[in-house]
Structure 1
Amino acid sequence: MFPRPIIDPAIATIAPGFHAVSLFADARGTTPVAIDPSVLADACRFVAEGGPVWAEAHLASWAETYTRFGAKPNRTPCSAQALRKRVLKDGTLPAINPVVDLYNAASLRFAVPVGGENIEAYAGAPRLTIADGSEPFDTIANGEPAIEYATLGEVIWRDDVGVTCRRWNWRQGSRTRLDTFTGRMWFVLESLDTMPLAALDEAATFLELGLRTLIPGCFIAREPLAA
Structure 2
Amino acid sequence: MLDEIQVDDAVLALRPDFAVLVMFAHGLRNGPTDDRTRAWLAEASAAEVQTDKIDAWKDAYRAFGAKPQRTRPSVDALTRRMPLPEINRVVDAYNTISVKHALPIGGEDLDHYAGPARLVRATGDEASEEALGQPEPGEVIWRDDAGVTCRRWNWRQVARTRLTEETTNAIFLLERLEPMSMEELQQAGKELADLLSELSPEVRITSRIVSGGK
Given the two structures, how large is their TM-score scaled by the length of structure 2? Answer: 0.92
Q: Equivalent pairs: percent with the same residue?
A: 39
Confirm or deny that 1:123 pairs with 2:114.
Answer: yes
Q: 1:22 to 1:31 in 2, by over 3 A?
A: closer
Corresponding residue number in structure 2 for 1:217: 202
Counterpart residue identity of residue 170, structure 1: W
What residue in structure 1 maps to residue 43 of structure 2?
42
User: Equivalent residue of 1:72, what SS?
Assistant: coil
Letter in 2 for 1:135: E
- Preserved contact between residue 35 and residue 214 of structure 1 (Cα < 8 Å): no
- Rounded Cα–Cα distance in structure 2 between residues aligned with 1:200 and 1:182: 25
* 1:143 alignment counterpart: none
Q: What SS does the corresponding residue of 2:186 show, helix, strand or coil? A: helix
Q: Is 2:16 the counterpart of 1:16?
A: yes
Q: Kindly report which structure 2 residues correspond to 1:1-227, keeping only aligned pairs within 5 A, or say none.
A: 2=2, 4-27=4-27, 36=36, 37-46=38-47, 50-51=48-49, 55-87=50-82, 92-138=83-129, 140=131, 148-180=133-165, 182-227=167-212
Shift of 1:31: 8.1
Kept after mapping to 2: 8 A contact 1:139/1:173: no
Secondary structure in 2 aligned to 1:115?
A: strand
Q: Using the alignment, how far apart are the partners of 2:194 and 2:160 within structure 1?
A: 27
Structure 1 range deviating more: 178-187 or 12-21: 178-187
For 1:19, give the aligned amino acid. Answer: A
Tell me if structure 2 keeps the 8 A contact 1:191–1:200.
Answer: yes
CA contact (8 A) 2:30 2:168 kept: no
**What number of residue pairs does the alignment pair up?**
210
Q: What is the CA–CA distance in structure 2 between the aligned matches of 1:40 and 1:77, rounded to whole Å? A: 21
Question: How much has 1:32 moved relative to structure 2?
Answer: 7.1
For structure 1, the residue ranges without an aligned partner over 5 or more in a row are 141-146
Query: SS state of the match for residue 222, structure 1?
Result: strand
TM-score (norm 1): 0.87
2-structure distance, mates of 1:32, 1:104: 15
5+ unaligned residues in a row in structure 2: which ranges? none
